[in-house]
Structures are given as structure tokens and as C-alpha cells.
A and B are shown apart, each in its own frame.
Chain A
Amino acid sequence: MSLLSSLVRTIGRVPVARTQFAALFSTSPEWKDKLDKMVSSNKVVVFMKGVPNAPRCGFSNAVTQVLRMHGVDYDAYDVLSDEDLRQAVKDYTNWPTIPQIYINGQFVGGCDIILQMHKTGELIEMLKQIG
């Protein structure tokens, strides 16, 4: 009985611990599979608002400019055309904002991180490593 009640208490507490475990609790298995495939569809993958030729947000635009400057070939997914994708990708990485940039299937960060890595030269190093 005490085991059961402690289990109930644990489940009841899930919302409090949501940030920590969001990746485990809020991405459905279907979306997780889908996103696993999407982030490895190319060496560089971007989830953004709009499309590379017509970004619909300054932050997404900044990321496309930086990638263009480095002559990177990448896949881009528009979250504005799919509200479910928009929410799923945020839950997937437990990252609250768009754009999101993946290199070699790994989440690298959002606009601020990419810009800072661009300035420090870290981005070039990372891109060189993946060829």
C-alpha cells in the first residue's frame, strides 16, 4: 500500500518536475521517431519560422544568413506550417524557442548560440569536423 501511495505521489508530482523530465514525458513516441529522423536528414538541420529564402522572423533570418555565409548545405523545416511540429520540437530538446540548429543529429542551440559560435570561430571548427 505504501508503495502504491508513494507511486501516486510521484506521479502527482510530475508537473513540478516537468522541465527536468520534459523530454521523457511530453514528446510522444511517434514524434520522437519522426524528429530523430528529421534531425539526421542532413549534417546540418534547422527548425525555423518560414523558409531559408523567406524567413518570417529576425532570429530565423539571422541563422540562415550565418549558414549562407559559411556556404552550408542544410535541411530546413518550417514550424509555422505545422503547429504540432512547432510544439514537438520544443519538447524534443526541452528548448523553449525557435530557431533550433542541429549538427550531426546533435542539438547545438538557438540563434544566440549560433551567432556567438560564429563570432568566436567555433562554428567553422564544428563545420570543418563534419566536412
Chain B
Amino acid sequence: MVSEELVHNLIKEKLQPSHLTVEDVSDGCGAKFNCVIVSSQFEGKPLLERHRMVHSALEGIISSIHALTIKTYTAEQFNKISSSS
């Protein structure tokens, strides 16, 4: 069983985020997570590439995850969103 902690640790190690939340929203159907990742490594990268970076950070366990919702931001984008909401 994939734990919230494992997902958190792998992303933290690979993407060195300045902000990271991993929320376990498993619904009985299987491991299910919502992630919000803010990392300087996303700068200048299109969304598709950012999501691929997250997938590769979770390589090996991603096939045991039933569903994964990913939001990726740079620090600048994240500040904009947090201040407007």
C-alpha cells in the first residue's frame, strides 16, 4: 500500500519543493492522492513537462496509485494564486 508519507518523501527528494502538500483522498477504490507542488525546478517548463517530472519522481510506485491529482507551480505563480484567493 502506498502511503501519503512515501509520496511526500519521493517528491520532496526529487523536486526539492519550497511548498508541498500531499493529501490522501483514498476512497476505498485504491490509493488516491492530491498533490500541490511549488518548485523552482518548474521554471520555464510547460505543464506537460512538469507533470512528467512528477511522474518520474514517483516512478516505481505510480503503477500502484489508483488516482493522482497534480498541481504544479513556480513560487511566483503560487504567490499570485494564494494572494488572489
**Nearest residue in B to A59 (C-beta to C-beta)?**
B67
Interface size class of B (residues with CB under 8 A): 10 to 19
Residues of A within 8 A of B71 (CB): 112, 116
A113 engages B62 (CB within 8 Å): no
B69 interfacial by beta-carbon distance below 8 Å: yes
Residues of A within 8 A of B59 (CB): 19
B79 interfacial by beta-carbon distance below 8 Å: no
Q: What is the CB-to-nearest-CB distance from B6 to chain A, in angstroms, rounded to a whole number?
A: 16
B47 interfacial by beta-carbon distance below 8 Å: yes
A97 interfacial by beta-carbon distance below 8 Å: yes
B48 interfacial by beta-carbon distance below 8 Å: yes
In Å, the complex CA distance between A80 and B65 comes to 18
Interface size class of A (residues with CB under 8 A): 10 to 19
A112 engages B48 (CB within 8 Å): no
Give A85-118 as 1s and 0s: 1 = Cβ < 8 Å from B's Cβ atoms: 0000000001111000000000111111100110
Q: What is the CB-to-nearest-CB distance from A5 to chain B, in angstroms, rounded to a whole number?
A: 28
A116 engages B63 (CB within 8 Å): no
Measuring CB to CB, which residues of chain A are less than 8 angstroms from any residue of chain B?
19, 59, 94-97, 107-113, 116-117
Report, nearest first, the 7 A-B pairs whose CB atoms are least far apart. Answer: A113-B47, A112-B70, A96-B62, A109-B48, A19-B59, A112-B69, A96-B55
Known: A112-B70, A113-B47, A113-B51. 19 other contacts (CB 8 A): A19-B56, A59-B67, A94-B52, A95-B52, A95-B55, A96-B55, A96-B62, A97-B67, A97-B68, A107-B48, A109-B47, A109-B48, A109-B51, A112-B51, A112-B69, A112-B71, A113-B48, A116-B47, A117-B47
